[in-house]
Amino acid sequence: MAIRITGTGAYIPTERITNADFAKHEFLNEDGSPFPYPNEVVAQKFQEITGIEERRYASDHLLTSDIATLAAQQAIAEAGIDPETLDYVIVAHNFGNVRADAIQTDILPSLASRVKHALAIKNPRCVAYDILFGCPGWIEGVIQAQAFIRAGMARKCLVIGAETLSRVLDPHDRDSMIYSDGAGAAVVEWAQGEGGILSHATLSYTADEAYFLFFGGSFNKKLDPNTRFIKMHGRKIYEFAVSRVPEAMQICLDQSGIPIDEVKKVIIHQANEKMDEAIIHRFFKRYGRVAPAGIMPMSIHKLGNSSVATVPTLFHMLIHRQIEGQSIASGDVLLFASVGAGMNINAFVYRH
C-alpha cells in the first residue's frame, strides 16, 4: 500500500487571450508615467522572457468554485471513487470567488464548502476547508492530505487548485500579461502498489520576502486608489526563486533517498520560462549534473501562470499525453515543486 494520486482532473478555460490582445492596453510605469516604447515591443520582450504566447481566462459566468468543481468531477471519475467516501476536500486558491464585473473577494462560505455542496456530498465527516499559500497552495494541500492519511485521520482526500487571476489584474501593469485562470484536482488515497509520495519539504521566507507579491493600487493614478490589484516585485522574485527553490528541491529529494539520475520529470510551477530553466539548471548543478533534455515539461506557453492550478493541470496533461513530446510511465520518479506569495516554497517526490 502507498499514498498515491489515483485520479486527476483539470479545467482549462475556453477564452484564449493572445499577447496581441494587449495591444490596446495603456501600459504605465509604477509612477504613472507612460512606457517609452509601443505595446508591440512590450509584448515581444515579455514573450522572450516568460515564454508566454497566450493564456486562458474563465468565461464571465464561471466562478473559481465552479471551475474547481469541474476539475474535481474529472478527478473523482478517474479515481473511480464514491465522493461520499472522501474524508477531506481541500481547495487551494488566493482570491476566492471574484465575479467578472467586480473585484471584491467572496470566500463566505469557503470555496471548499461550495465545491462539496456542488458535488452533492452529504457526509458531514467529509471536512471541507480552504488553503491560502500562494502559488504553492495545491502542493501544500497534497502534503497535508498525505499527512492526514499517514496519521490515520483519512483514507481519501480531494485536493484542488483553482484561480481566476484575470479578475484581479491591473490593465495598466504589464505584469498582468503573466496571469491566467484554471483549475486542477487530484484524489490522494491509500492504494495498492508501491511508490506514491516518498518525501516532501516546505519552507516559508517572511523576513525580507513576505511582500514580494502584494495587493496594490493601479499604475493609472486617475483610478480609485482604494481599488487594489495583484502586484509583484518581479526582479526580487526571480532572484529569490533561482537561489532558494533549488535548495528546497534538494532537501526534498535527499530525504526520499532517490538518486538524482532516477528523476524522470520535474513538474515545476509555471511562472516564467527563463526563471524555471534557471531553477532546474541550478538544481542539477548541486549534484554535479546537467539537466537532461525534456526533464521540465512546460504548459506556460499556451496557458500562462494560473497560480495554484498550474502544477495539477500540468500533471493531468502529462498523464493524458496532452503535451507534445512529453509523457510519464508507471514507476517514473517525479519531483513536484513550486514557489509563490508569502514567500513560500515546497516540493514532493512521487513515484508514479
Q: Give the residue extent of every domain in the chain.
A: 2-194, 198-351
Q: In what order do the strands lie in the sheet with 156-164?
A: 2-11, 181-191, 156-164, 88-92, 127-131
pLDDT at 109: 97
- CA angle 274/318/53 to nearest 5° reads 40
pLDDT at 22: 85
Q: At 235, which amino acid appears?
A: R
Query: Which of the four pLDDT bands, split at 50, 70 and 90, describes residue 319?
Result: very high
For residue 236, count other CB atoms closer than 10 A to its CB: 15
Close Cβ partners of 296 (under 8 Å, ≥ 6 residues apart): 265, 266, 268, 276, 277, 280
Rounded CA-CA distance 174/15 in Å is 20
Residue bearing cell 504548459: 299
Q: Does domain 2-194 have CATH number 3.40.50.720?
A: no
Query: Which of the four pLDDT bands, split at 50, 70 and 90, describes residue 65?
Result: very high
pLDDT tens-digit series, residues 259-308: 999 999 999 999 899 999 999 999 999 999 999 999 999 999 999 999 99
63 pLDDT above the threshold of 80? yes
What value does the mean pLDDT take over residues 53-59? 95
pLDDT above 70: percentage of residues in the chain: 100
Residue 253 · residue 263 · CB < 8 Å: yes
What value does the mean pLDDT take over residues 161-178? 94
pLDDT at 76: 98
118 pLDDT above the threshold of 90? yes
User: What is the topology classification, in CATH, of domain 198-351?
Assistant: Peroxisomal Thiolase; Chain A, domain 1 (3.40.47)
What value does the mean pLDDT take over residues 113-126? 98
- In DSSP notation, 139-203 reads HHHHHHHHHHHHTTS-SEEEEEEEEEGGGG--TT-GGGGSB-EEEEEEEEEEESSS-EEEEEEEE
pLDDT at 77: 98
Q: At 296, which amino acid appears?
A: M
Q: pTM above the 0.85 mark?
A: yes
For residue 226, count other CB atoms closer than 10 A to its CB: 6
Specify the 3-state DSSP secondary structure of 326.
coil
- CA angle 44/49/54 to nearest 5° reads 60
Residue 70 · residue 11 · CB < 8 Å: yes
pLDDT above 90: percentage of residues in the chain: 83
> Rg of the chain's alpha carbons, rounded to an integer?
20
What value does the mean pLDDT take over residues 63-92? 98
Q: Return the C-alpha cell found at 129.
A: 476547508
Query: Which of the four pLDDT bands, split at 50, 70 and 90, describes residue 102?
Result: confident
Q: At 23, which amino acid appears?
A: A
The angle, 0 to 180 degrees and rounded to 10, between the axes of the packed helices 39-50 and 273-285 is 20
1 pLDDT above the threshold of 80? no
pLDDT at 160: 98
Establish whether domains 2-194 and 198-351 are of one fold. yes
- In DSSP notation, 64-101 reads HHHHHHHHHHHHHHHHT--GGG-SEEEEE-SS-B--TT
pLDDT at 37: 81
Residue 185 · residue 10 · CB < 8 Å: yes
Distances (CA, A) of 20 to 52, 116, 183: 12, 39, 25
pLDDT tens-digit series, residues 234-267: 999 999 999 999 999 999 999 999 999 999 999 9
pLDDT at 225: 84
